[in-house]
Structure 1
Amino acid sequence: MQSVGLFFGSFNPIHIGHLALANYMHEFEGLSEIWFVVSPLNPFKKADDLLDSEQRIEMVRLATEEQKTYRAEDIELSLPIPSYTIDTLNALTKRYPEKKFSIIMGADNIIRFNKWKSAEEIISNYNILIYPRPGYHLDAKQLPNNCKLSNAPLVEIASSDIRQWIKEGKSTPYLVPERVFEYIKEHKLYI
């Protein structure tokens, strides 16, 4: 079975931190592919400053199209909103029964994982790879069996910072992939 890491997010916009984490998970955690699952609306986030889903999926496509093992996944755009991970997992598993899916998740999310819809079902049926986040310390011994604390590098870039800097008129060409930077400029996003 091919092992696929599902990297869920708003990707508003996708940035080099997302890509660095994906690269680490692919190279060091044994994942054959990384699918960037663009969420139309996370149940834990507000829609403020959230670009249209189609624009965000296009930026993910631009950022990943040259990497054969990366994929922009838009399945959540066809599912009911808000997006619940269990519904996405069920839909993907049904559509791709030959794939073994793992979830790539930040340490900030695993701390509140018990609040997720069908958390027990997710943890029983899927592996979870947890990457570090600033301000969150986890003890690997206290995590459920299907969870692994990854040694991925700590990435301190946030999409919210990039949006704010663009709004302030700052240039961010090295924080987002070049084609994404051009797309943001061309469509006058986040200003």
Structure 2
Amino acid sequence: MIKVGIMGGTFDPIHYGHLLAAETARETCGLDEVWFIPSFIPPLKDNEPGAEGHERLEMVYRAIDFQPYFRALDIELERGGTSYTIDTAEALVEHHPERSFSFIIGSDRINDLPGWHRVAELAELVSFIGVERPGAPIEKSKLPAALSDRLQIAEMPLIGLSSTDIRKRRAEGKSIRFMVPEKVYSFIQRNGLYES
């Protein structure tokens, strides 16, 4: 069985923290591949993404270029509407029965996992890999057994980057160079993304 990690999110924009989380999970948990899936409308965010879906997908393609074990999929962008993880998991399991899937999730979202849409069904289909994020330790003991039993923890070097901070810096006219891959930086500059 081919082991695939799923990195979901808005990727608005994708940055080195996302790539480090994916690589840490791949290495720690013995994943064969990591698939990046930009969401259309994320259920746990208050506002819609700043960049259009096709722009966010293009930034993901640019960020993972030449990485043989990273792929980008547009299934949530194509489906439209609110991007619930259970819908994506059901589609992946149906279309790729030869693969097992683990969703790679930051520690802040792992702690929220019991409140996810149809989480009991989700835990029957996939497992989870929790990566540490600054200021949000994973509290595995506080999760229900059905979730904690399906959770692996991947310790990664702490990197204090967030897409929100990157967008804010751009809006304030500050540099974001070296926070995102060079091809992503060029794309953002050329298209005037996140400017005030």
2:169 is the alignment partner of 1:145: no
When residues 134 and 174 of structure 1 are mapped into structure 2, their CA distance, relative to the original with a 3 A threshold, is same
What corresponds to 1:120 in structure 2? 120
Moved more, 134-143 or 26-35: 134-143
Separation (CA, whole Å) in 1 of partners of 2:89 and 2:67? 23
CA deviations 1:10-59 (Å, max 9, x no partner) are 00000011111111111222111111110011111133452110000000
> Corresponding residue for 1:105?
105
* 2:114 partner amino acid: N
Displacement, 1:100? 0.8
Q: Write the distance in 2 (CA, Å) between the matches of 1:53 and 1:68.
A: 23
Look up the match of 2:174: 170
Return closer, same or farther for 1:129/1:116 CA change in 2, 3 Å cut-off.
same
SS for the counterpart of 1:149 is strand
| 1:1-191 pair list within 5 angstroms | 1-143=1-143, 144-191=148-195
Q: What SS does structure 1 have at the residue aligned with 2:5? A: strand
Q: Is 2:40–2:83's contact at 8 Å kept on the other side of the alignment?
A: yes
TM-score (norm 2): 0.92
Distance of aligned partners of 1:80 and 1:56 in 2 relative to their CA distance in 1, 3 Å threshold = closer
Q: Gaps (5+ residues) in structure 2?
A: none
CA gap of 1:34–1:176, structure 2 versus 1, over 3 A, is same
Shift of 1:140: 3.7
Q: What is the Cα-based RMSD across aligned positions, in Å?
A: 1.4
SS at match of 1:123: helix
SS of the aligned residue for 1:91 comes to helix
Q: Quick one: which amino acid aligns to residue 189 of structure 2?
A: K
Aligned residues of 2:93 and 2:125 also touching (Cα < 8 A): no
Going from structure 1 to structure 2, the CA distance change for 1:146 and 1:54 (only over 3 Å counts) comes to same
Taking only the aligned residue pairs, the percentage that are identical comes to: 38
Shift of 1:83: 0.7
With normalisation by structure 1, the TM-score equals 0.94
Number of equivalenced pairs: 191
Instruction: Extract unaligned runs of 5+ from structure 1.
Output: none
Which segment drifts farther, 51-60 or 140-149? 140-149
The answer to whether the 8 Å contact 1:10/1:39 transfers is: yes
